[in-house]
Structure formats: C-alpha cells, structure tokens
Amino acid sequence: MSAADRAVARILHLHSTFAAGGKERRAVRLMNAFGPKVAHAIVSGIPEETVAAREISRAIKVEWPADFPPLTGLPTPGRLKRLALAMRGYDLVLTYNWGAMDAVMANTLFGQAFGLPPLVHHEDGFNADEQDGLKPKRNWYRRIALGRARGLVVPSETLEEIALTTWAQPIGRVRRISNGIDTAAFAKTPRADALRGVIKRKGELWVGTLAGLRPVKNLTAMVRAFASLPEPWQLVIVGEGPEEAAIRAEVERLGIEDRVHLPGFVADPARYVGLFDIFALSSHSEQFPISLVEAMAAGLPIAAPAVGDIDEMVSDENRPLITPAGDETAFGDALSALAYDGALRARLGQANRAAARARFDEKPMIEAYRRLYASAMGRASLP
C-alpha cells in the first residue's frame, strides 16, 4: 500500500513560488512534521522555482500536478471556474500570498456549487510592487476573495492589523501564528567547510544573510554597506534568484570580488548559519523573517532595517542596531559598529539566542498549524 493510499488527508498547496523563502521553508517543515500519513500536492505559480522542495523528507508523499491551471492571469469567470474544478478531490487547500489569490477567489465563488474542500490562506508579506504601500484594488479583491476561507494565517502583528482593518476580515478568521524553528539545532558549532563552495579560513570574519535574490531584498544596498568594512571581513549571501547579476555587478563596481561570496541555495541552514559572525538583512519589506530567527538561535548579532516585526523580534539588547527603514547610511553604521566590537557581537548574540529559545521554538508553531488545519477539515487531529 502506497503512502497516498494510507494518507489520512490530501492537502493541496498553491504557492506564488516555491523558491527557498521563509513561507516555503515553513511549509516544508510542516509537511515533514505531519509525517507520511498526510499526502501533499504542490503548485508553484512560477513552475521553475521549486528549490524549497529539496528540504522535503523522502518519506513524504508529494505530487506536482502538471495540468493545474496557471495561478495568475485575468480573473475571468471561465479561468476562475477552471481553478475551482482543479481543487476538487482534496481534503484541504492551502494558499499563499497574493500570487495565489485568484485561487482563493475561485474557492469562494464556486466552493458551494462544486463541493470544494475548505481553504486556509497564508499571508507572509509583500513584494516590491507593494513595499511602499498596499494597492487599493488588491485590498478590495482580498476582502471579497477571503469570504469563504476557514482561516487567514499571518505571522506578524503588522500583518494581523492589516488583515483586521485594511482587509476587513472578521477576528475569528484571522490567526496569528509566529514562525518557529528547531532552536536547539542551531546551537551546534558548524564545520568550517559546512557551506558548499565557501570555506571559512582561519582569521576570517563573516557578515552573512539568507535571502531570495529578489529586488525587495535590496541586496545591492547590503553590498554597498559591507564595502567599507576592512579585511578580514567577508560577505556571504546564501540564496538564488533573478537579482544575482545585479548583485555581482555592484560587487565588481566596488572592486570587492575577492571578499563577496554567492554560493547559491544551500539546504539545512542549521549546518552553517553559525559560521556567520554578523547576520544582516537589508530588505525594503519583511514581516517575520525565519532567517532572522535562525540567526538569533545561532547566537548572532543582527543588523537590519526596522521593517515588519524585526524590531520586536530581536532581543532588547540588539534593538539599537535595528535601523530606520530605507536609511542605507544608518544600516552601514550598524554593520560597522558590530564589525569593530567583538565584545558587543558576543553580548548581543547571547541575548538573541536566549530570546529565540524563549519565544520562537517550532513546537508551538507546529501544534498551532496542526490544530488549525485539522479543525478546517472537521477532524479531531492530524497525525
């Protein structure tokens, strides 16, 4: 008997992309935690972006429906009907971010007529096209589309307020579940060669980040801020995406090719995040970045802009190094302050590790999702 035959639930995941970002990696951790008795079908709005799948356990049954209608396009009745028909046969539909909102609308419009499964939507943040403000038409579309959703999950206080006010969602529908990780796994000391293609040499110090190489991550600004740091500092940017060429061009312009490394996507951050001496984010927009929690659990000091919940996530001691959003000079100053003060790095790292263990362990997160998904399906529990 196959894993699919033994499955107690079949879950359809509709992602705007399945690149290795925070929402995708969280979805993978939940799949692995639920175990082989839950079967999954995954659709990526950008079919070639599926690198997060590398972290799915081999014991988990996963399908990739090749004939699923595109998630984006004009929301015509015919297209929405095709999306609705493609959702039939599952026990639960999970949708993620604006890129899957047409599927949410399809479920609301045709759910009763076609006997569609319950749907839970997840919002984790915004791309560059909404980093400076939400679009009114999208806000209205979300209000209508979410009308049948069994839950709207957000990880941050900022998004919770947006959901309740701007999107006018009833309080019983909105669920804030903070992102969590296996904090103990990040306490281990990594090997110098744990990061593929980059070996940490004796005496080197690393500024590191984990991010999809997309415009919203503003990684060229990180390169510029790093450029003023002296030897032996190195910059390591772990991730893949369309901005790689622009990042490399900025590195070449500044003449620091020998000190900046882009190893691509590397699975299992617990194996290598501890190689960093400073963790940095330079994003125009974030909400509740999992990579920041991982860095905290690894005992790292943080330099980042005050976007989303970042200012509330770090320890009290680290908060002065969280700079005003969009202030590249202040961000560079924060990096320099940490680079030139080893005692400060150690003190902030210890405080961040304690905060991560106390507030962001994955067990409460997994149980909250387990309860929510089971309740949406009318089940007592998931495995």
CATH code for the domain in which residue 117 is found: 3.40.50.2000
Note the pLDDT of residue 295: 97
CA proximity to 257, closest of 282, 291, 234: 234
Residue 64 belongs to a domain:
yes
pLDDT, tens only, 306-342: 998 899 999 999 999 999 999 999 999 999 999 999 9
CA proximity to 160, closest of 336, 359, 152: 152
Mean pLDDT, each 10-residue run in order, the chain (383 residues) = 61 93 91 96 94 93 96 96 98 97 98 97 83 87 97 93 96 94 92 91 96 93 97 96 96 97 92 97 89 96 94 96 96 97 98 95 94 95 81
Judgement on whether residues 295 and 354 belong to the same structural domain of the protein: yes
Note the pLDDT of residue 3: 45
Judgement on whether residues 200 and 279 belong to the same structural domain of the protein: yes
Strand ranges for the chain from DSSP E? 9-15, 38-44, 62-63, 92-96, 119-122, 151-154, 174-176, 205-210, 233-238, 260-264, 278-280, 302-305, 322-323
CA dihedral sign, ordered 255, 204, 295, 324: negative
Residue 382 belongs to a domain:
no
Cα radius of gyration (the chain):
21
Token pair of 322 as six digits = 């969280």
Contact status, residue 93 vs residue 376, Cβ threshold 8 Å: no
DSSP SS3 for 99: helix
Judgement on whether residues 216 and 281 belong to the same structural domain of the protein: yes
238-260 burial, b at 16+ Cβ within 10 Å, e below that, comes to bbbbebeeebeebbeebebeebb
| Total number of domains in the chain | 2
Note the pLDDT of residue 309: 87
Q: Is 276 exposed, middle or buried (0-12, 13-18, 19+ CB in 10 A)?
A: buried
CA proximity to 177, closest of 197, 163, 196: 163
Judgement on whether residues 191 and 336 belong to the same structural domain of the protein: yes
Which residues, in sequence order, are bridge partners of residue 260?
Answer: 235
CA proximity to 176, closest of 29, 24, 12, 372: 372
Note the pLDDT of residue 250: 98
Judgement on whether residues 261 and 187 belong to the same structural domain of the protein: yes
Residue 116 belongs to a domain:
yes
Please name the residue that has the structure tokens 């980040």: 209
Judgement on whether residues 290 and 337 belong to the same structural domain of the protein: yes
Residue 173 belongs to a domain:
yes
Note the pLDDT of residue 292: 96
pLDDT, tens only, 25-75: 899 999 999 999 999 999 999 999 898 999 999 999 999 999 999 999 999
Judgement on whether residues 16 and 155 belong to the same structural domain of the protein: yes
Judgement on whether residues 226 and 307 belong to the same structural domain of the protein: yes
Note the pLDDT of residue 201: 94
Token pair of 186 as six digits = 């990040």
Note the pLDDT of residue 102: 98
Residue 234 belongs to a domain:
yes
Residue 314 belongs to a domain:
yes
Judgement on whether residues 15 and 100 belong to the same structural domain of the protein: yes
Judgement on whether residues 117 and 236 belong to the same structural domain of the protein: no
Note the pLDDT of residue 286: 87
Contact status, residue 118 vs residue 205, Cβ threshold 8 Å: no
Residue 241 belongs to a domain:
yes
Residue 313 belongs to a domain:
yes
Judgement on whether residues 15 and 70 belong to the same structural domain of the protein: yes
Range of the domain at 323: 183-359
Judgement on whether residues 82 and 166 belong to the same structural domain of the protein: yes
